Amino acid sequence: MNYENILIEKDNEISIITINRPTKLNALNKATIEELHHAFDTEDKDKSTRVIIITGSGEKAFVAGADISEFAHFSVEEGGKLAAQGQKLLFDFVENLSTPVIAAVNGFALGGGLELAMSAHFRIASDNAKMGLPEVTLGVIPGYGGTQRLPQLVGKGRAMEMIMSASMIDSETAKNYGLVNHVVPQVKLLEFTKGIASKIAKNSPVAISNAITAVNANYKDGINGYEIEIKNFGKSFGTADFKEGTTAFLEKRKADFKGE
């Protein structure tokens, strides 16, 4: 697939997906969402990719929001379909990806941009980042999972305030809220994120995938996360990665995981 709105770069076992619409502050339109789905799906299936970093081009914006011009005249039915398709293609898809995804948030992450960052497994922000869900200023609510993931990350009260006031928060506030794990200078954002990604890449991909499933299970209605943890813990014993990891430990050497 030829990408018009994103760039993909490989750095050893790390794939960097960059949303590249600088004149639109990397706003998410339908075409970009479809390209991102394809890119995440492709990288997830590539065994040489151990970690995916998602970021935005330039220093001004990670993603400044959705492309409002695309849905300004939508009907009720079209609006519902927009949210459902977007969640299925990208936001839920990323959250449940077996390959770990880190959002490197540079600049504005607003609306759909913050929702994309929140669907990643965790977030690292530049010191100039600004985050918020301004949808109520347009007469709508967050539709790409924002009303669900933000309370999970920052708590109900803070999420209610952010959504109802449509206020932006800076990177340090986001860190204090637990929305991002680290805040670093803009020029060091990608380097720092790659450093953490490199640590992740050394570990068992199979175990990491099972851990992602177990952690996510705790946030899904009707699913017992403890039972998923027990099941996935047991499954680990049947993998080549488990055999390699335990053997390497006993032999006092570094493990060489194959992801099997």
Q: Active-site residues: which are they?
A: 115, 135
Alpha carbons 85 and 81: distance in angstroms, whole number: 6
At position 181, the amino acid (one-letter code) is N
What count of residues does the chain have? 260
CA distances from 209 to 107, 121, 175, 255 (A): 29, 11, 25, 17
DSSP track, 114-177: HHHHHHSSEEEEETT-EEE--GGGGT----SSHHHHHHHHH-HHHHHHHHHH---EEHHHHHHH
CA distances from 60 to 21, 67, 75, 183 (A): 11, 17, 32, 16
